Amino acid sequence: TPRGATIDLGVNRNWGSGAYVLVTVMTPRDPVNLPVPRRAIGVAYVPVDMGARTLQVHAGQGLGQVRPNTRINVPVEVGNAPMGEHVRVAIAMVDEGILNITKYDSPNPVNYFFGRRALGVDTRDDYGRLLNPNLGAPATARQGGDNLGGEGLTVVPTRTVSIFSDIVEVRGGRAVVPVDVPDFNGTLRLMAVAWSETAVGQDAQELVVRDPVVAEMILPRFLSPGDEAQGTLNIDNVEGPPGGYTVTVGGSPTARVQQAVRRFQLGRGQRQTALIPITGGDLGVGRITLRLEGPSGFTPVQRSYDIQTRAAFLPITLVDTAPLAPQARWPAPRDALATFQPDATASISFSNLAGMDPVPLLDALWRYPYGCSEQMTSVAMPLLYYNTLRSEANQSVDPRIHNRVQESATALLDREGPDGAFGLWHAGDGEATPWLGAYITDFLYRAQRLGYAVPRAPMAQAYGALRRVARLNDFGSVAYQSDVYTWPGSNDTKELLRSRSAAYALYVLARAGEADIGQLRYFHDTRLDSEPSPLARAQIGAALAFMGDRVRSRHAFQMAESALGYRNIGDWYQTPLRDLAGVMALAAEAGDTAMVDRLRRRLERDQPDANSLMTQEQVQLLLAANALLQRSGPVSVTLNGQVMNDRRIVADARRLATGLVFQNLARGPVWRSMSRAGAPLQAPPAMAAGFAIDKRVFRLDGTLADLNSIRQGDRVVVVLSGQPEGARSYPTVLVDLLPAGLEIESLLNPDDGAGTKDDGSARHGPFAWIGTIDPTQVQEQRDDRYVASATLHSSFRWAYIARAVTPGRYTLPAAQVEDMYRPGVMARTSTATITIAPRGG
């Protein structure tokens, strides 16, 4: 009727905690009065009373104030429990300050199980096609990032508390949960969750944890050697006796404390502050201790803070390789680590394979600092064979490897979209090429075959995506980046990307038993001559060998060998060395021993520079080494006259100083590699090799900041700008280590600067004086560094805001930008110092 209608519905158990009622009204088209058809949809939620299935929970009643470093028994009362059901409870206590910062809501199982569910509606009828499709607005996609930029801090001195109890059974409506309260002064949120077979409930209360006299140290998050920080000591007599109090602060070799004893006269309710000089010492994790003593009868309070002293310079690795003739001796240089920080190490190893010693290659990948999907796969792929390579090299198996490979496989699977395509940084970002998708799938297949947890369903999706990649004309149906950035002199094209991606896809599908032999033969017969990549040709050859077509396989490998030396400067992942090692590994897979021997001699003749290897070169060299080591002879080397059980030793500066002499007892030469890894002892100079970079520190008004007159609490804007040399595509990462006294407060994005918006209007953000702030693919603020990554074609400008937190004099590290795939293409600013004066000082 015009006034509506009443419909009676029966409520049954299938409604659960509630149901949505949807009403659709449609009007027919009237050519005169209503030329456009109309439809209206109304929705209302009808909740069902779940009171009988809700437990009434009260936790922590009567606890009052709690002292640190004590065990407390938390009382929990549970009412309205269903008759005959077993009730259980668990509690958590977390720092309220952290929860407020993160806007964390306490667990609420009542809302989770019985609350209103989101309603998803999808209209699938012909009537909907008559409606105007242009009345909606497009959604805005949000992007996330991942880890990159090197290893961060191991510890920070700020203490966060998160305590979780065991599950306790409730009897007679009551339970007591014992909890150990740690060394903490502040407010904890006590959260309790109770449940039975058919009911749930929860409670949350604040719990104050405090000493009678609170003594706290405010410290920088870290130190660098030589930093002169001033830690702030706060002492607050909340409810202790009045009188004299003594605070003794102790340090460690990593964080040295001066003038460690302070005396105070405090009445109840009084508070005083003092500055404690702290100097950065040796590298590593140390501890600062605090002991508070008071008037007669006062129980002393002891506290400790872990703090890390980390190098102010990014670590480097230098590799030196040379042959060692039969019976020849080689003394390791005693001062090999003289220019490195004391925690640096030298890895010395021996191999029969010139240019393919697996030990330094594996070590370099293990330490690789970046985390896009290609780099994650490049680190994990050879680790599949890590323990095999170590055992072939007479080395013990490393039990950590399995976890590292499994973590990588799980992380990569998290980046897979519903269409089977993998993202470069996260699922669906559309930044990965189809070749990279085949590379990731190749790794995951190998991991699955070796027993790692790789589910079948996502692999089936990945194979489906590769089938579309292999068809060449079906790229648009998968979320891979098929466009190629070109510039004068570039020899890459979209067609070449599709072709080499299809070849790799066919190889992976053939290994997995998912390939179409007809499609493989068609590629060989019609496209192989026009495919310039030797690796792609060899992948087709290996795939045909897997499928049993030996004639075409041999021809494809001959074509691959003839193409070696090819260079595609537009392909991030390709180099002639990568292709040479990759073809060798594939020929070994196919059983072509004659080609393997020829390519091995070619590799030995053209020794690669171990210091400039990219990840793809390292991976393919290791895959080739995995095939060749099984056929190589033994290595017989002595160390100071004793036969080495392992082909590798790791020595620090102290051990090198004792004198290490190696002798080759084998009949033929062996190749000796020494890999030195660590942070340099002195600040590396500013440099530019393929990049230019500039780092400036401003005040919020846009004036340059005087680095010697910054005060505690001041905010500064750090602007990092530069550009690559030449017009090409640069997959770039920038790392800016922080000085110990600064902490990043916020990251700036394009809307914060000036420029032109996508709609053509002018952008005038709050920091327009910076100029244009360029977008990034990934931007992160860490405890000790700023990290950003983007694919650059021209100049860049990025910025962040930092706050001066701890007074002192600190090393201001250099900012460094580099090409993620081409070691040596990089730039670095100079190192400086920054002084932060105390607030009001």
Question: Domains plus CATH for the chain?
Answer: 13-50+120-134 (no CATH), 213-280+294-309 (2.60.40), 327-352+635-681 (no CATH), 353-607+615-627 (1.50.10.20), 687-837 (2.60.40.690)
| CA–CA separation, 259 and 723 (whole Å) | 48
The three state secondary structure string of 459-493 is: HHHHHHHHHHHHCCCCHHHCCCCCCCCCCCCCCCC
- Residues contacting residue 10 through CB under 8 Å, at least 6 positions apart: none
- Residues contacting residue 285 through CB under 8 Å, at least 6 positions apart: 154, 155, 254, 306, 307, 308, 309
pLDDT one-digit tens code per residue, 767-823:
999 999 999 988 999 989 999 999 898 999 999 999 999 999 999 999 999 998 887
- Residues contacting residue 48 through CB under 8 Å, at least 6 positions apart: 11, 15, 16, 17, 18, 19
- The pLDDT assigned to 399 comes to 73
Q: Which of 45, 181, 164 minimizes the C-alpha distance to 107?
A: 164
Distance of CA 306 to the CA centre of its chain: 23
pLDDT one-digit tens code per residue, 320-344:
888 899 999 999 999 999 999 999 9
Q: Which of 274, 270, 268 minimizes the C-alpha distance to 247?
A: 274
The amino acid present at 386, given as its one-letter code, is Y
Residue 709 three-state SS: coil
Q: Which residue has the higher pLDDT, 136 or 621?
A: 621
| CA–CA separation, 245 and 509 (whole Å) | 74
CB 782 within 8 A of CB 737: no
- pTM exceeds cut of 0.85: no
Report, as an integer, the average pLDDT of 423-447: 94
- Residues contacting residue 723 through CB under 8 Å, at least 6 positions apart: 691, 692, 792, 794, 795, 796
| CA–CA separation, 806 and 222 (whole Å) | 11
Q: Lowest-pLDDT range, 6-15, 122-131, 460-469, 756-765? A: 122-131
pLDDT one-digit tens code per residue, 250-285:
999 999 998 789 999 999 999 999 999 999 999 999
| CA–CA separation, 801 and 697 (whole Å) | 10
Identify each DSSP E strand in 575-653 by its residue range: 637-639, 642-643, 648-651
23 has pLDDT over 90: no
- Residues contacting residue 348 through CB under 8 Å, at least 6 positions apart: 332, 648, 649, 650, 651, 660, 662, 672, 673, 674, 675
CB 89 within 8 A of CB 76: yes
- Residues contacting residue 761 through CB under 8 Å, at least 6 positions apart: none
- Please state, for a pLDDT cut of 70, what percent of the chain lies above it: 92
Q: Which residue has the higher pLDDT, 539 or 606?
A: 539
Task: Map tokens 């049954």 to a residue.
Answer: 12
Q: Which residue has the higher pLDDT, 707 or 140?
A: 707
- The pLDDT assigned to 9 comes to 83
| CA–CA separation, 688 and 679 (whole Å) | 19
| CA–CA separation, 676 and 317 (whole Å) | 6
pLDDT one-digit tens code per residue, 547-562:
999 999 999 999 999 9
Place 107 in a pLDDT band, splitting at 50, 70 and 90: very high
